[in-house]
Amino acid sequence: MTAQPRHARVKRKIGKTHGDRIFDAFNLAFWLAVLVVILYPLWLVLIASVSGAEALFAGKVWLWPVDFSLIGYEAILNHSLLLRSYLNSIIYTVAGTALSVIVTMMAGYSLSRAFAGKKLVSLYFVFTMFFTGGLIPQFLMNQRLGLYNTVTLMIIINCVSVWNLMIARTYISTSIPNELHEAAVVDGAGHFTYFFRIVLPLSGTIIAVLCIYYGVARWNDYFTALVYIRDETKYPLMVILRQLIVQATSGTALDTLMGFFGDGKTISEAVRKAEVVKYCCIVVSTVPVVLLYLQMQKFFVKGVTIGSLKG
Amino acid sequence: MQPVISRVSVTLRGAARRVGRAARRDWQLYVLLLPAVGLVFIFCYLPLYGIQIAFRDFKAVFGITGSKWVGLKHYADFFASWQAPRLLLNTLLLNVYGLLWAFPVPVVMAILLNQLELRRFKRFTQTAIYTPHFISSVVMVGMLVLFLKPSSGLVNIVIEKLGGERMDFMMLPQWFRTLFIGSDLWQHAGWNTILYIAALTAIDPGLYEAATIDGATKTQKIRFIDIPHMVPIIVLLLILNCGAMMVSNTDKALLMITPGNMSKSDIIGTYVYRMGLQNGQFSYVAAINLLVNVINFALIVTVNQIAKKLNDTSLF
């Protein structure tokens, strides 16, 4: 990421040309504009979520919160279905990610070693990236297996991403020296011992990358639940958000909204307040993911380049 | 005769022994593979068996194999329908226009980011432009809906203040592609710079030093050092992207489709979902899906072959 320091120093010694200074000025202006475009919508969501409903509708909320209030967040805390879905999402994400990571690491380790039939196994995985049965055959099969409307399905479906598998394989075969394996074999270790005692402890980076990739994908996924889950109590957060925010014009969604303020207030007032609640929903669903990303940032970039440049 | 047979049998026995020895030595590797192989089998390979309903008239009571064969009837129906050309064209155009924007923007951003000299500002910028990548499609479309709402959306309020008229953007077909591609850019253009930045980072700093000493300006360095070094990865990614021209981003399109904008927003993926899971026309929809999957498969295999050839001869 930072190839510059040496040549930047040289340049400062030599001095910049007039053209370079103009270039730098324009470049800086460009990036300031990009930052505004990227960050302003996020800021807007944040301030709208803590502003008053009337101010929001009047268009007064555009730079700072107006009529600061937390009613939106209070409403979320009082909405049992939303809380339930939040819990569901946490369960699906944690369990699904844990399973995905261990299964991917195991297979990734195997594929990093030589064994009879390795080509065939690789082809077996890669083929699924190129060709799938399609939504309906998948649906029928999962239904026949008794997985429709089950928590199990939400955890084990899409458990192995072939892309992530290749990242894991490449990481293990390039970052863990083969001498370790030879030494382990001399000491009488089998693949199990070597994998669990040596490879896993040395794979912190790639495990972090996989956790985030799998975890974010699970947390953000609404489509699987839309297709396979019928009971409201099993819905993940994103399905509820879809109903609340995206489909809010339809009758059912309005009913759900009224659930927030079912205390005899007028519909228009409820709808206005619900608008604030929607912003709050975005905040509570997105903040955990963004915080996780900011924490793990350095691993991320590494993971992307491992998979794509060397894989 | 005799010696030939015995030679064959010796070779066979040798092969069997080798396999046996390999299995004894490596059985733990196969065990480690087993969970992944099993899960992929359940969710990717079993459905392949269900594809046959594309050529049957599927009725739940008869099951998959019990339903009547109808041959290519569903394809005849599909191509006779008025939706067919619209769906195929909408899917293709959304991807083509998407690529026209989504492809060059990260390249330009990577080059310009690489020229930023304020290191802390550069790092902050990088962090900021990657962030939207992690926002879910539901939240992304939710933000569009909220910002563009005719009643309370800030965009419409501003439009009215400037003397314009409020618009229901999500209902207007002419806005669908702009919003779809624009929000994609906002979310992913920053993230997609990563590979290009990696390519730029790999450039020998000595080249820049030499260029500086020779009096090269920044634009000249971009033109004669940066861009030539990025060409291989640009070409590779462009080719690979071309393999996805008939893929549906159902996830997002399904969120953005409204009764108003369907003439532009109805793509194969949304049609399959609507007609299949909502209207229960399983066989018909499976047939359409299969056709598109075969097209996608052919495209991907072709572009991969091309990429491989270029890789061998001209890339690295």
For A309, name the nearest residue in chain B, comparing CA atoms only: B195
Pairwise CB contact (< 8 Å): B142 & A137: no
Q: Taking 90 as the threshold, does the pLDDT of residue A246 lie above it?
A: no
B246: pLDDT confidence band, cut at 50, 70 and 90? very high
How distant is the Cα of A249 from the closest Cα of chain B, in angstroms? Answer: 11
Same domain, B286 and B225: yes
| Statement: residue A263 has pLDDT above 70 | no
Which of B260, B244, B245, B253 shows the shortest CA–CA distance to B137?
A: B253
Are both B105 and B43 inside the same structural domain? no
| pLDDT tens column, A122-170 | 999 999 988 999 999 999 999 999 999 999 999 999 999 999 999 899 9
Same domain, B63 and B164: no
A200 part of contact set with chain B, CB < 8 Å: no
- What ipTM did this prediction achieve? 0.88
**Pair B21, B92 in one domain:** no
The whole-number average pLDDT for the span A277-285 is 94
Gap between the Cα atoms of A88 and A290, Å rounded = 19
**In the prediction, which pLDDT does B116 show?**
93
Lookup: tokens for B304: 């991969």
Quote the percentage of chain A above a pLDDT of 70.
85
Q: Which of A173, A265, A168 is nearest to A214 (CA)?
A: A168
Q: What is the reported pLDDT for B266?
A: 96
Task: Label residue B15 exposed, middle or buried (CB < 10 Å: 0-12, 13-18, 19+).
Answer: exposed
| Domain match, B215 and B119 both | yes
In 10 A of CB A47, how many CB atoms?
17
Residues B40 and B178 both lie in one domain: no
What DSSP string describes A2-26?
---HHHHHHHHHH---HHHHHHHHH
CB of A25 less than 8 A from some CB of B: no
> Which residue among B141, B197, B203 sits closest to A246, beta carbon to beta carbon?
B141
Residues B123 and B264 in one domain: yes
Contact state of A110 with B143 under an 8 Å Cβ cutoff: no
Where among B54, B69, B84 does a domain terminate? B69
Q: Which of B14, B39, B69 is where one domain is finished? A: B69
- Candidates B158, B7, B183; CA nearest to B94 is B183
Question: Testing the interface with A: which of B152, B194, B271 to mutate, by most A Cβ within 10 A?
Answer: B152
Name chain A contacts of B152, Cβ cutoff 8 Å.
56-57, 59, 272, 275
Mutation target among A102, A136, A158, A164 for the B interface, most CBs of B within 10 A: A136
Convert the pLDDT of each residue in A186-221 to its tens digit.
998 899 999 999 999 999 889 998 999 999 999 999
For residue B293 the two structure tokens come to 């999957």
Q: How high does pLDDT run on average in chain B? A: 91
Is A146 in the B-facing interface, judged by CB distances under 8 Å? Answer: no
CB contact under 8 A, B29 and A191: yes
Residue B315 has pLDDT above 70, yes or no: no
Task: Give residue A310's pLDDT band: very low, low, confident or very high (50, 70, 90).
Answer: very low
Same domain, B43 and B141: no
Residue recorded with tokens 């409307």: A149
B100 and B201 in a single domain? The answer is: yes
Using the 8-state DSSP alphabet, how is residue A67 labeled?
S
The owner of tokens 């083509």 is B96
The predicted-structure confidence for A2-32, as pLDDT tens digits, reads as follows: 444 555 555 455 567 888 999 999 999 999 9
Chain A residues touching residue B151 (CB < 8 angstroms): 57
Chain B residues near residue A190 by CB distance under 8 angstroms: 28
What is the C-alpha separation between B216 and B294, in angstroms, rounded? Answer: 51
Contact A168, A206 (CB under 8 A): yes
Where is A298: in which H helix or E strand? helix A267-305
Compare all CA atoms of chain A with the CA of B285 and give the residue at the minimum distance. A136
B152-167 average pLDDT score: 92
Residue-range definition of the domain harbouring residue B268? 73-315
Task: Kindly list the distances between the CA atom of residue B164 and the CA atoms of B156, B159, B160, B281, in Å, as whole numbers in the listed order.
Answer: 9, 5, 5, 44
Question: The domain A72-310 belongs to what CATH superfamily?
Answer: MetI-like (1.10.3720.10)
Q: How many domains does chain B have?
A: 2
Contacts of B113 in chain A (CB under 8 A): 31
Distance CA(A6)–CA(A4), nearest Å, equals 6
Q: Are B47 and B100 members of one domain?
A: no
B189 with B80, same domain: the answer is yes
Give yes or no for A44 touching B (CB within 8 A): yes
Q: Read off the CATH number of the domain in which B118 is found.
A: 1.10.3720.10
Q: Do A138 and B50 touch (CB under 8 A)?
A: yes
Mean pLDDT estimate for chain A: 86
- List of chain A residues whose C-beta atoms are within 8 Å of the C-beta of residue B154: 44, 59, 61-62
Domain stops at, among B52, B69, B86: B69
Closest-CA residue to A133 (of B1, B211, B287): B287
The CA distance from A174 to the nearest CA of chain B, in Å, is 18
Contact: B201, A2; criterion CB under 8 Å: yes
pLDDT of residue A302: 64
Q: In B, which residues are within 8 Å of A152 by CB distance? A: none
On whether both B93 and B173 belong to a single domain, the answer is yes
B27, HSE (Cβ side, Cα atoms, 13 Å): 4
